[in-house]
Structure 1
Amino acid sequence: MPVEKTTPPVTAFMLVKTTPEWLAMTPRERMNAFVTRVVPAIEARTTGVRSRFYDTEFYSTRVTDVWVWEADDHEAYQLLIDALRETPFWERCFTVVDLLVGTENGCARTYGLKAVATLAT
């Protein structure tokens, strides 16, 4: 049986900085706002997205957090960003400092080469 080629997921590194409005809330209020306002907005607009959230404020002054998103395709990613922009997350709770979007091992895939940058020990 031939192996079916699939489009690689889109990965976005969303570099954000907290705002005074976010920091004025208690940690419980922050998590509640995220669960009740942000997550439902995303779920209503798109599927096929996953995320991980990293705190970086103890290492960086420019960026306080990095939100790593993986979307099944570019349309799912676009719908995700559209959904986020309609929530308090975007600009009220966090300032989006930068978005770094790519696909894992894109160069190797383009040229039909084995990915050498992936390491698992």
Structure 2
Amino acid sequence: MTFEAKLTAFMLIKATPKWLSLTVPQRFEAFETEILPVLREKVDGVRSRFYDTEFYSVRVSDVWVWEARDHESYQLLVDALRETPFWDHYFEVVDVLVGVEDAYAKNNGREPVATV
């Protein structure tokens, strides 16, 4: 089954002292038991990638990139995340940037301008 993202959200987040106080095994366990089950139960049509940025930024520690099939799927994702300790307990959501890939080109009947 192919996945065509209609929108991409770049969620800029910063780890809280609560998250940082956990050991690495505790962090993985918390993610796998407290966050992922809620997402699996309530969200469909969304995929993600996670980027560590703490090496290069003091404003955010991570960027979670979400690709969604439609706006409703993304909205359900945010609602689900807010029901978990991810939101404002383990991480502070610093900013969310939502965009549509190559929208300018598509809206003007042009091929995307991109590098390989």
Shorter chain as normaliser: what TM range? Answer: over 0.9
For residues 97-121 of structure 1, give each alpha carbon's deviation from its aligned partner in whole angstroms, at most 9, with x where no partner exists. Answer: 00000110011111111101x222x
Q: In 2, Cα distance between the equivalents of 1:8 and 1:19?
A: 30
Cα contact 2:47–2:67 (8 A) shared by 1: yes
Root-mean-square deviation (CA), in Å? Answer: 1.1
Say whether 1:81 aligns with 2:78: yes
Count residues with an aligned counterpart. Answer: 113
The equivalent position to 2:15 in structure 1, one of 18, 23, 27, is: 18
- Report how far residue 8 of structure 1 moved: 4.8
Q: Percent identity?
A: 58
- Residue 46 of structure 2 corresponds to 49
Unmatched segments (≥5 aa) in structure 1: 1-6
Cα contact 2:5–2:67 (8 A) shared by 1: no
Q: Which structure has the larger Rg? A: 1
- Residue 33 of structure 2 corresponds to 36
Q: In 2, Cα distance between the equivalents of 1:30 and 1:49?
A: 23
- Report how far residue 9 of structure 1 moved: 1.9
Structure 1 residue runs of 4+, over 4 Å off?
Answer: none
TM-score after normalising by structure 2:
0.93
Unmatched segments (≥5 aa) in structure 2: none
